[in-house]
């Protein structure tokens, strides 16, 4: 399947992107900064799942950003949409087969760390997988990666340090912390937020972890960002809507876009 997808993409582009970008809910703006050479609807790509959530546009963009050849997904696949873990992570397999070695990934997330506030950008330093599933379950394809991938450093310390230097130069405040993934689509109860905070998570979301696991399986370097779109403090919890999540993500997005672009430039 990967070979067929890549063969198709090769008919549309001769680019050899070294950087892959996956953008989260309300965070697609980085795409505007890419000098696009080729834009392909997911629906056209053999074996690619099709995006169902309205807030995602569903396009693969190949072009240059900060002088680097990049491939970006505008819109990603979520487990809660009913896709299998294999489908959710398929684009990361394809990116690697195209030559991508570095993956930049973003998401909208609820923040539980009381020192964070709405609109903050957090560098993901580590994650907790509470999806109850794993994209590597099943026979291992040894040509893609090892049976038991090491997860001692899923998010590259080197890239985290680079992002921190960039943020300092651009005067953008960055938080750092642990991302926990749940399936959704429900938001969490107060008791769940309290639990997630207790087990060591700073923010919670419904994506990213599957893609990162597959990236690590394939020895890719990962840099992950969460935008804290809502404050999930159990004793002061207010209802949150998708509209609010998107509005806050859109507001914080220019800062994130600036940081991600400059990181790519300095890679």
To the nearest whole angstrom, how small is the minimum distance from the Cβ of residue 36 to ligand HPA? 28
- Interface with ligand HPA, residue 60, by CB under 6 A: no
Any idea what the Cα angle at residue 257 is, between residues 68 and 182, rounded to 5°? 105
Site for ligand HPA in 189-228 (CB under 6 A): 204-206
Residue 62-101 contact track with ligand HPA, rule CB under 6 A, x = bound:
----------------------------------------
Q: Could you tell me the smallest distance in angstroms from the CB atom of residue 197 to ligand HPA?
A: 12
> Which residue number, 7 or 189, has a Cβ lying nearer to ligand HPA?
189
CA distance 121 to 124: 9
Beta strand spans in the chain (E): 19-23, 35-41, 59-65, 68-74, 102-111, 121-129, 174-181, 203-205, 221-231
Strand ranges (DSSP E) for 112-220?
Answer: 121-129, 174-181, 203-205
Q: What is the rounded distance in angstroms from the CA atom of residue 45 to the CA atom of residue 141?
A: 22
For 208, phi then psi, to 5°, come to 75, -50
Tell me: does residue 187 bind ligand HPA (CB under 6 A).
yes
Instruction: Judge whether 193 and 110 are in contact, CB under 8 Å.
Output: yes
Among 109, 121, 215, 252, binds ligand HPA (CB under 6 A): 109
Read off φ and ψ for residue 177, nearest 5 degrees: 180, -170
Q: Is 126 helix (H, G, I), strand (E, B) or coil?
A: strand
DSSP-based three-state secondary structure for 178: strand
The interface region with ligand HPA, picked from 43-51, 144-152, 156-164, 184-192 by CB under 6 A, is 184-192
> Considering only residues 81, 120, 211, 230, which one is a binding residue for ligand HPA as defined by CB under 6 A?
230
Of the pair 34, 204, the CB lying nearest ligand HPA is at 204
- Contact status, residue 221 vs residue 158, Cβ threshold 8 Å: yes
Secondary element (H or E) of residue 252: helix 242-266
Tell me how far, at minimum, the Cβ of 147 lies from ligand HPA, in Å.
31
# binding residues, ligand HPA (CB under 6 A):
13
Question: Shortest gap between Cβ of 226 and ligand HPA (angstroms)?
Answer: 9
Residue nearest to ligand HPA (CB): 110
Q: Which residue lies nearer to ligand HPA by CB, 108 or 214?
A: 108
Kindly list the residues in this chain that would bind ligand HPA in the complex (CB under 6 A): 108-110, 184, 187-188, 204-206, 229-230, 232, 245
């Amino acid at each position: 399947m990967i070979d067929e997808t890549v063969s198709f993409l090769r008919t549309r582009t001769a680019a050899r992107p070294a950087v892959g970008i996956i953008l989260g809910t309300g965070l697609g703006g980085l795409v505007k900064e890419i000098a696009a050479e080729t834009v392909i609807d997911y629906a056209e790509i053999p074996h690619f799942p099709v995006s169902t959530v309205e807030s995602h546009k569903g396009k693969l963009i190949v072009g240059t950003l900060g002088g680097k050849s990049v491939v970006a997904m505008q819109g990603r696949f979520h487990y809660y949409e009913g896709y299998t873990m294999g489908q959710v992570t398929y684009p990361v397999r394809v990116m690697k087969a195209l030559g991508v070695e570095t993956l930049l990934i973003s998401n909208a997330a609820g923040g539980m760390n009381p020192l964070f506030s709405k609109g903050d950008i957090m560098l993901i330093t580590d994650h907790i997988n509470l999806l109850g599933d794993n994209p590597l379950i099943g026979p291992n394809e040894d040509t893609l990666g090892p049976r038991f991938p090491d997860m001692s450093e899923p998010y590259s310390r080197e890239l985290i340090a680079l992002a921190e230097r960039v943020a300092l130069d651009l005067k953008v405040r960055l938080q750092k912390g642990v991302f926990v993934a749940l399936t959704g689509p429900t938001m969490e109860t107060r008791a769940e937020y309290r639990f997630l905070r207790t087990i060591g998570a700073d923010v919670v979301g419904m994506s990213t972890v599957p893609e990162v696991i597959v990236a690590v399986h394939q020895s890719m370097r990962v840099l992950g960002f969460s935008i804290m779109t809502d404050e999930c403090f159990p004793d002061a919890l207010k209802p949150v809507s998708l509209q609010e999540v998107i509005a806050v993500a859109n507001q914080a997005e220019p800062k994130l876009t600036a940081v991600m672009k400059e990181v790519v430039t300095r890679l």
